[in-house]
Structure 1
Amino acid sequence: MTVLMNEEKKAESIVTFNDFQIPGVIRFGEGALVTIKDEVLAKKPSKIFIVSDKGVEKAGLVDELKNVLKPLEIPIETMTDIVGEPTFALVERTIKILNQSEADFVIGIGGGSALDVAKASAALQDKKDLEDYFSGNKIIEDRTMSCVLLPTTSGTGAEVTKNAIFADEEEGVKKGIVSSALLPDTAIVDPKLTLSCPARVTAASGVDAFTHAIESYISTNATEQTRIYSEKSMKLFAKHITNAVHNGSNIKDRSGMSWASLLGGVSLANAGVGAVHAMAYPLGGTYHIEHGVANALLMPYVFKVIGKTCTNDMVRVASFIEIGDFSNSKHQALDAVVNYLMKLLKDLNLPTSLKELGVKQSDLPNLAEQASQVKRLLSNTPYRLSEEQILRIYEDAYEGGE
């Protein structure tokens, strides 16, 4: 939300408005990968730089992309050194390789990590003093290099967001860069690219998509426009997640989850997420727990607390995911949603407690202190969590529960 005042009549002319930002083009369709040629031809680059990760490369998707581009006879360089959660150091190294390659067109293909590295590298390749951008002291004002993103998972929505998340190894925390310059020129969402995604990654990234949808739906910055996207994302998630995980070759369910991820990403990009993400960041920074797994695990424990301030929203969410009509028993909706989220973890074979992930109980106060500093996200949550309350949620999640 942005508020502007007319200097001459401050008391009389306050203007409140909301911007809505998406990539220049969002292209969705089975087999849409082949249209990357059109995007490249339109820009006429001298060299292409592909950013991906080892898993995607091993699955043959990088070679598939190269084969599509081969008839164009444009030199290609690849960087596929991304393993696990990306760091600021990796971004710096990628920018160095990108500049040495003299490429002028970046393509990111992969999960959220690869896409975040790709779009951050494209936006920062001509900037000096990178530390200022990493710390948030400077905002990336523009991007001078073309960038196209192709997701191979259904969850992060990174192809349509102006956020990129990286680990700061020196401080042991995860931080976000936020800028409209991180939005690609074109996001190409081809559900066929997700067919090789393993069940565990499908589950974790899928629940991550739901986290984006439900947190942005209740966000203090949510609007009628963003809620259109988050509502549809939740409905699609509930319909397709189980089959996408346990029968990953079903293109109908893969397509449904690709839509859920895309729509949740658009809503997240414009309304923001909240306490679940704020509490997930320290788990990623300290224990290197995958972002989707951390969000999925924390969600029921966080909503058990923050859901108390948005009863009507919980009634609507329960309707979206088809677990009952609580319009005449509103205060039962929250318990129903929390129970659904907990059951979901078990059904998708995801961990249900921090203890399972090797988190030390003695570290919980430090994790709570770190999470309490993620004020950008906590302020989006319609419940003002104190550090003590955050610690209690971690303690609840540590033990796990029904």
Structure 2
Amino acid sequence: MEPPRNGVKAMDVYYNPVRAIWGPGSFAKLEEVLESLSSKRIALFCGSRSFKESGCEEKLLPLISRYKIVRFDRIPSHPDISDVLEIHRQAKNYRFDTFIAIGGGSVLDMAKAIKAASSLDLNSEEDLRKIIGTSDFQPGHEAIVAIPTTSGSGSELTKWATVWDKDNQKKYSIDHPALYPDFALVDPSLTYSLTLRTSVTSGLDALCHAVEAYWAKESNECSRAFSLTGASRILVGLEQLFHQELKEEARNNLSLGSLNAGYAFSHTRTTACHAMAYPLTLRYGIEHGIAVTMTLASILLYNLPYLNDQKALFAALKIDSPNDLQERVNSICSRAGIKTKLRDYGVNKEELAAIAAECFTKGRMDNNPYLLTVEEVNHILHHIY
């Protein structure tokens, strides 16, 4: 192999097998996709209220009326191990060949979690915990068609599913190459009815995916290109949200930006921002997109010496310093009525040291180029208090 030139590896490997179709109206490709998969018995994963209120129900049901469908719509935000086990028990005897998951990240993750468990004999939550954190299991053979209705989670492009364990105050990932969706239909028109707050919080999550993927240890030239494109489009879309005449254009930009961010972090995974966000969501219910963004500028400051190309990242973010990024994010949140300080969410200052100790999620914190200490994490938490 040739030696690296100008800091670029001689060979950068990038892989993502998901067949993604993006654009307003791409939802209508569902019939064609199901025919290509030879689908017969379909499980439909969706939100109980959002599926109808977003207009997705009216659009989707005519496309799948000739199939045998079983609907699973009791999927909460941040699904718990108990939720996964309950749906697994309901679904295991149907012998589905296709899962359609239409909704936000929680819905998409649930479909992947059920595929992971579908060939397993799970009788308890402890049985499910045993497969978490290992790839030493064989998921089912169901095809997954992921149809996101928010622009943030990126779950339509990844091989893992987030599952929460509220009893033990932990967040887990079920991770296996077989959990990549077969198809992703990314139709921004499905996000046009989202509230401003949901559009902003999901967009902030996608922004963190893009930026964290840029500096993650496993980043390469290909993934960083996705990161820069994603971050730039997401910020444009977030600013456009506050102009009524740009409502649809804003959500188109957020959708395409989120797709690029998804391609980036599906290769690299996330880093310190996500690791620090998990206990904030578990302990205090802080929305994920808000929790991850709270620390973004602080982590950027620590990671500056490790950036592959600081000028390129700053140009994509339209900033001159980490402080500029903090001000830009705070401005977006303020206009959307979103608080950005821990004290606004009932966090007590005396609890920050305990929170800091819980921030070292394996595979996330150690994926950060600069290895933060507990003391430094505690300092960041005080800074955003």
Q: Distance in 1 between matches of 2:306 and 2:335?
A: 26
Q: How many residues align?
A: 372
Is residue 66 from structure 1 mapped to residue 53 from structure 2 by the alignment?
no
Q: Is the 8 A contact 2:297 2:322 kept in 1?
A: no
Q: TM-score, normalised by structure 1?
A: 0.86
Q: Is the 8 A contact 1:25 1:187 kept in 2?
A: yes
Deviations 1:229-267 (A, max 9, x none): 001001111222122365397322211111111110111
Deviations 1:198-252 (A, max 9, x none): 1111000001111000000011211001011001001111222122365397322
Give the superposition deviation at 1:86: 1.1
The 3 A distance-change label for structure 1 pair 181 and 244 is farther
What residue in structure 2 maps to residue 6 of structure 1? none
What residue in structure 1 maps to residue 119 of structure 2? 126
Q: TM-score, normalised by structure 2?
A: 0.89
Is residue 79 from structure 1 mapped to residue 76 from structure 2 by the alignment?
no
What residue in structure 2 maps to residue 327 of structure 1? none
What residue in structure 2 maps to residue 26 of structure 1? 20
Q: Distance in 2 between matches of 1:232 and 1:140?
A: 36
What residue in structure 1 maps to residue 314 of structure 2? 318
Q: Distance in 2 between matches of 1:76 and 1:390?
A: 47
Q: Distance in 2 between matches of 1:245 and 1:125?
A: 43
Q: Is the 8 A contact 2:277 2:292 kept in 1?
A: yes
Q: Is the 8 A contact 1:23 1:187 kept in 2?
A: no
Q: Which moved more, 1:228-237 or 1:96-105?
A: 96-105
The 3 A distance-change label for structure 1 pair 347 and 23 is farther
Q: Distance in 2 between matches of 1:277 and 1:394?
A: 13
What residue in structure 1 maps to residue 51 of structure 2? 57
The 3 A distance-change label for structure 1 pair 293 and 336 is closer
Q: Distance in 2 between matches of 1:379 and 1:37?
A: 42
Is residue 342 from structure 1 mapped to residue 327 from structure 2 by the alignment?
no
What residue in structure 1 maps to residue 4 of structure 2? none
Q: Match of 1:170, SS? A: helix
Q: Is the 8 A contact 1:248 1:254 kept in 2?
A: no
What residue in structure 1 maps to residue 373 of structure 2? 386
RMSD, matched Cα = 2.3
Which residue identity lines up with residue 278 of structure 1 in the other structure? A
Residues 2-401 of structure 1 mapped to structure 2, 5 A cutoff: 19-59=13-53, 60-70=55-65, 73-128=66-121, 130-244=127-241, 247=244, 250-304=247-301, 306-310=302-306, 313-323=309-319, 333-372=321-360, 374-398=361-385
Q: Is the 8 A contact 2:43 2:69 kept in 1?
A: yes
Identity of aligned residues (%): 27
Q: Distance in 2 between matches of 1:275 and 1:104?
A: 37
Q: Distance in 2 between matches of 1:16 and 1:139?
A: 32
Q: Is the 8 A contact 2:22 2:185 kept in 1?
A: yes
**Unmatched 5+ stretches in structure 2:** 1-8
The 3 A distance-change label for structure 1 pair 215 and 80 is same
Which residue identity lines up with residue 312 of structure 2 in the other structure? R
Which residue identity lines up with residue 372 of structure 2 in the other structure? L
The 3 A distance-change label for structure 1 pair 341 and 379 is same
**Unmatched 5+ stretches in structure 1:** 1-14, 325-332
Q: Is the 8 A contact 1:314 1:334 kept in 2?
A: no
